[in-house]
Structure 1
Amino acid sequence: MAPLDRSSSSGRALPATLNAWTNFLTDTELPAFARTVSEVTRIAGDPEASAYKLASAITKDAAMAARLVKLANSPLFPSSHGNIQTVDRGVVLLGFDAVRDLAVSLSVIEQVIRGQSRDALLEEMALAFHTATQSQTLARLAQDKESAEIFVAGLLYRIGVLAVLSSPDPRVEDYLAEKADFDPNEAVQIARMEKRVFGCDMTQLSRRLAQHWSLGQVLQEALAPDPSQAGERIAAGRRIAEVAMRRGWESKEANELLSRVARKIGLKLSDIREKVHESSEVAREMAAQFGATKVAPLIPQTAQGIAKSKQAESAARDGRGTAGSANTDAAETEGDAGTDGRFLRPDPLLQLQMLGRMAELLNGKPDLNRLVHTAVEGVHRGIGMDRTVFALLTGKQDAVAAKFVLTEIEERLQASFRFSLRPEVNPLLAAVIGQRKAFWVRKDSPPDERKLVRGPFAQFVAKEDFVIHPVLFGDKCIGFLYADRANSHRPIESSDEASFRQFIQQLTLGLRLLGVR
């Protein structure tokens, strides 16, 4: 039977062959994704390309860069890599291929999220994340070498389905209605139905897109008619994810499947069950880190995972301590600062939104004031700072004064934030402007660094943690971005400082574009 013959709302003929679907998704549905993939894979595939070039291509998309850095420090990669705080360091430590695959998968998820918000699409994305973590777990248990690549390949294993479900194609509803009548194990019958409805089955489309978009060798081998060992791990991970979602972790089907997987790998069923159950929690965490917050709750939890979630919710309701507990004064002060409604807490999702807003500003004709104000707001509200200041050189260039200020407490901060740049008065500020140095000063910083904080500026920071970074316009330093937690006395963690630099990178890129234009 021929594919259903329909036209889109615009009157354009709908794709009805494998080639037509590939061209449609590349040129019409996901062109921004296709461009990103093309640029990233071109650089990553060039033996002459440097880590800097690949990092620069990714950093153009601030939201992607921020998520990639967070993922580089997630359970996806071994902790032996250390704390990766920038994209270029991630390229060096993780390798071109790993960073390329991460960037591509991030771009896929972003484009899919922007598509149709069908329940079926969210479920398919939940299966994708669950497949990815289960595939990686099986690979690690079997001591395979390419577990990180298997995660990304597992995530994109059904890229054809994700792409089609995110499209406005009217045939999708017919497809979903018919598919509901099939058991997931009836793969051959489902493929025939897909070919009748769309002109190709989803495995064929996934394979073609993986080749056309250069989505990594591991994924292409997994989708081949004769799949690789990695492909077998991914197929098993997919079956585990499907059974958990359709039948539940305690079902007979789940136990039988895990028994077969345990025999295949040569491990005890109890060991496999423990690791697979842990992976479901990791899958929820990874979905959130990829920005798919609506997807995470759809990944089935184990009984142990549900119990932990309830404990966490109970602890959050009860607060950090209980009445009558024997806390020290210092601990009470720290707890009060942490829960005081006047002080902001880090909000990774808001950080990504503000970085994305900055990127959008750069797509049109950048407005300097809006760009800087968005950066200040992103640092202040997204990272959870007490005081955030963008300061500019004064007319005589012998001092700096606040241009934009955000604070929850000190209403007159903008009027009072003005400091001399004379080295003998403010050596740290003089180094920021004159030598273009950035500083992350903490309570436990070396004495030589703390000695640079003097005079009125020392009174302003009051021995608390702060971060400060020069802001460049062309080849000139025009001021700096400063943030602290002096009011709440909270520390600035390494993750906060890394996020701060992400905003600086995006602001610097914007000012560079303004200088060129």
Structure 2
Amino acid sequence: MTTLQDARRLGAQGFVARIRERDMPAFGRTVDSIREVADDEKASASALASIILQDAALTTKVLKLANSAYFNPSRAHISTVSRALVVLGFDAVANMALSLVLIDALLRGGVRERVVTEMARAFHAAVQARTLAALKADPNPEEVFISALLARVGEMAFWCFGDEAAQSLDSTLSTGVPAEVAEQNVLGYRLRQITLGLVKDWRLGGLLTSVIEQGERGGDREKSVALAHSLARQAEGGWEAPATRQVLDQISKHLDRPLDEILPLITDNAVAAAQAAVNYGAHEAARLIPLPRSGGAVTVQEDEDSSGPNPLLQLKILRDLSMLIAGKPNLNDVLTLALEGIFRGIGMDRALFAMLTPDRQHLVGKAGLGPGADALVRAFQFALDGSPGELVNTVVARQQSFVVANAFEAPVRLERLTRAGGVPPFVIAPIVVHGRTIGAFYADRIKADAVLSEEDATGVLHFVQQASMGFEHVAARGARA
């Protein structure tokens, strides 16, 4: 519980530290993971795909956004995170993931009305800012979008996690005291300082920092964000209100275009913003975005159940894998897509890829998906000691696959696998390239009373076979080079 006394004593930076360490540690870890990949010139897009795929709910939401009209106007159907990265690009998918994790964290409670109001303004401003940036020939309108969306992240976090301090500030604001006066009187600092602290702490981008520090005093990009936020706030008083018309005139001057020319775009954007909020899962916020009278209704699409086997998704991922293999794939892309097919398409609880060390003496886990997969990858390290009748040695030496429904009926010894955390029912199969084993895929179901049908096991083996073909393709291309 954050009391008003706590909030005043902590100050803005102390409050930032509390949000980072107590209230939103998962978001900070996600930001760090994505930034680490983004800042590494050697990292591939598959590294980002692996981060997203670790969270099934996040994967579903990213794919829903990737297939929305706003982010994918061509409506090319996207079934996998790997495909989303190809079609939309690394930055767009990374920003989707960050935004989704943030919004999910901020929809937990607090002063609910204030949180939702801020979120509605953020979505409205983000969509408007992206259009303004595009009309100014900005090279990266998506960066402007994300900066507008997160420009008041500290305000949203305060209303969500401020507890008693948030209630006190809410009461003061409800009397009509201007925000800058109320914040200073109640807290001793501005909420904008929390936003700036979080943006710097989470390394959310130089443009966002500049937006917060400079606003309209900055360049075209900062001004686009500032004007978009002004419009989002003023439009709540009506699209025909004098204050709204004044902001629209400022936007017209900023773009150096007649208001009559840009007004249809801007009013259409309000509807697009409401739909974007729905697609992000912020349904309450969508209803607060002021729509023009001709805007019509915004439909709410329910998320599809992504649990369990999905034959249609299996076919789509196998098709994507075949197309990838027909081109010039790299090992990471083949690996990521095959893991995604086993994990999401077959509906296995965990999926893992392991590779032989260069001296061919050990099989070592390299990548995994599903709950607890990271720990399983770390523990999946086996010496190939030639011990007869043991699972891992048999898979590698004899290039044999195993489908094991329970430990009692296993045709080989499972002690090493179970010590590492593996459990029946599972499938394990070798990756064979030009007659040599180079690694293996392992997938299991760990939920209570889990069963593995013959059809599911066959599906896993099919993905492993396709991955082997992809690896052979890569190896053949390397031999010719």
Question: TM-score scaled to structure 2, two decimals?
Answer: 0.62
Secondary structure of the residue aligned to 1:231 is helix
Aligned to 1:234: 225
Alignment map for 1:334-353 (pairs within 5 Å): 348-351=302-305
Q: Distance in 2 between matches of 1:232 and 1:353?
A: 44
Decide which of 155, 159, 163 is 2:157's aligned counterpart.
Answer: 163
Q: Does 1:19 align with 2:13?
A: yes
1:131 and 2:125 aligned: yes
Partner of 1:262: 252
- How far 1:228 sits from its partner (Å)? 3.6
Q: Which residue of 2 aligns with 1:300?
A: 290
The one-letter code of the counterpart of 1:45 is: D
**Percent identity among equivalent residues?**
28
**Are the structure 2 counterparts of residues 217 and 99 from structure 1 closer, same or farther at C-alpha, using a change threshold of 3 Å?**
farther
Q: Could you give the per-residue CA deviations for residues 405-428 of structure 1, whole angstroms, max 9, x where no partner exists?
A: xxxxxxxxxxxxxxxxxxxxxxxx
AA of the residue aligned to 1:222? V
Is this contact kept in 1: 2:110–2:163, CA < 8 A?
no
Partners of 1:242 and 1:50 lie apart in 2 by 40
2:196 is equivalent to residue 207 of structure 1 = yes
Deviates more, 1:121-130 or 1:39-48: 39-48
Tell me, in whole angstroms, the C-alpha distance in 2 between the residues paired with 1:65 and 1:175: 37
Q: Distance in 1 between matches of 2:107 and 2:243?
A: 31
Matches within 5 A, 1:267-416: 267-305=257-295, 308-309=296-297, 348-351=302-305, 362=371
Partners of 1:277 and 1:210 in 2: how far apart? Answer: 30
Residues in 2 aligned to 1:233 and 1:86: alpha-carbon distance in whole angstroms: 33
1:216 maps to what in 2? Answer: 205
Please give the per-residue CA displacement for 1:19-60, whole angstroms capped at 9, x wherever unaligned: 201110000111111111111211221112111111101111
Aligned twin of 1:193: 182
Tell me what 2:54 maps to.
Answer: 60
Runs of 5+ unmatched residues, structure 2: 309-343, 351-369, 376-402, 407-427, 432-440, 446-451, 464-481
CA distance in 1, matches of 2:288, 2:4: 34
Aligned length, in residue pairs: 340
Note the residue ranges of structure 1 that are not aligned, 5 or more in a row.
8-12, 184-188, 314-345, 367-391, 396-432, 437-469, 483-500, 505-517
Residue by residue over 1:66-88, the C-alpha shift from the partner in whole angstroms, topping out at 9 and shown as x without a partner, is 21122223344364694433222
Q: Which of the residues 140, 147, 160 maps onto 1:153?
A: 147
Question: Which deviates the most, 75-84 or 107-116?
Answer: 75-84
Cα distance in 2 for partners of 1:138, 1:182 equals 32
Distance (whole Å) between structure 2 residues aligned to residue 274 and residue 353 of structure 1: 41
- For the structure 1 residues 211 and 282, does the alpha-carbon distance in structure 2 shift closer, same or farther, using more than 3 Å as the test? same
Give the AA of the match of 1:227: G
Task: Quickly say closer, same or farther: Cα 1:81–1:269, change in 2 above 3 A.
Answer: same
Structure 1 residues 125 and 60, CA gap change in structure 2 (3 angstroms): same
Cα deviations by residue, 1:151-189 (Å, 9 ceiling, x for unpaired): 111111100001001114201122122223458xxxxx6
3-state SS, counterpart of residue 173 of structure 1 = helix
Query: 1:90, 1:99 within 8 Å by CA — same for their partners in 2?
Result: yes
CA drift at 1:286: 0.5
Which amino acid is the alignment partner of residue 152 of structure 1?
I
